[in-house]
Structures are given as C-alpha cells and as structure tokens.
Amino acid sequence: AQSVTQLDSQVPVFEEAPVELRCNYSSSVSVYLFWYVQYPNQGLQLLLKYLSGSTLVESINGFEAEFNKSQTSFHLRKPSVHISDTAEYFCAVSGLIQGAQKLVFGQGTRLTINP
C-alpha cells in the first residue's frame, strides 16, 4: 500500500521566519512526489514536483523541497515566509501499483503566518 503522512496539521510562524512542512511517505515502488498549495476558498495548485534528477526542487515563490529516499521524506521549506504564504499545503505521492499509477494525498498542513 502507498500512504502519505504530513506530520503537522497546523504550523503557525511569524512573518520573515523560516518554515519547514514535513511529509513522509511509504511505498514499495519508485515514486514521484508533489506539493500542492490551496489558498483560502480556492482549489489546489501545484507548487513543485520531484520526478527524477536533482533531489532538491524549487518553486518560483521561494519554496524548496528535498527528496530523501533513505528517509522516505519530501519536506517543504522556505527560508523567510510572507503573509501571502498563508494557505493549506498538501503533499502527494504517485507510484505504479499493480500496473496503474496511483496518486495519494496527505492530510494537509495549514500554514498560518502571523505579522
């Protein structure tokens, strides 16, 4: 079976502070990894993805995530957050299970930025 665990349901931080949102997965196959962001009252949109190659991937708004195969993790980081980063963040893993690509989402982490 394939599963995703986001270790924190809520993360409050102050503006301009660094943040890390943790994501661990379990899978018996090679995986592709994604982070999606959901701003208030909107749908999800892709923030960044790891398919292959460099284990460190970056988004255009300063977030980065590192694929760690040995620890089966894909934590999301930003060195200095802004009020506009307030949103819910979902980690997702995609793997080939019984001949079909299966995508599973984590439970979400609500990031709240305080001024």
The footprint of other proteins (CB under 8 A) covers 4, 9, 32, 34, 36, 41-46, 49, 90, 94, 100-103, 105-108
CB of 69 to other proteins, least distance (A): 19
Task: Give the nearer residue to other proteins in terms of CB position, either 26 or 80.
Answer: 26
Nearest in space to 84 (alpha carbons), one of 65, 57, 61:
61
CB of 64 to other proteins, least distance (A): 18
* Token pair for 99: 């001949």
Quick one: 15 or 96, whose CB is closer to other proteins?
Answer: 96
For 17, residues 6+ apart whose C-beta sits below 8 A from its C-beta are 80, 81
Q: Cβ closer to other proteins: 28 or 41?
A: 41
**CA dist., res. 51 & res. 31, Å (int):** 8
Please report how close the Cβ of residue 91 comes to other proteins at its closest, in angstroms.
9
Q: Which is nearer to other proteins, 42 or 71 (CB)?
A: 42
User: Locate tokens 């960044």: which residue?
Assistant: 48
Its sign, for the CA torsion 39, 103, 23, 65, is negative
In angstroms, give the least distance from the CB of 94 to other proteins: 4
Instruction: End-to-end CA distance of the chain: give it in Å, rounded.
Output: 41
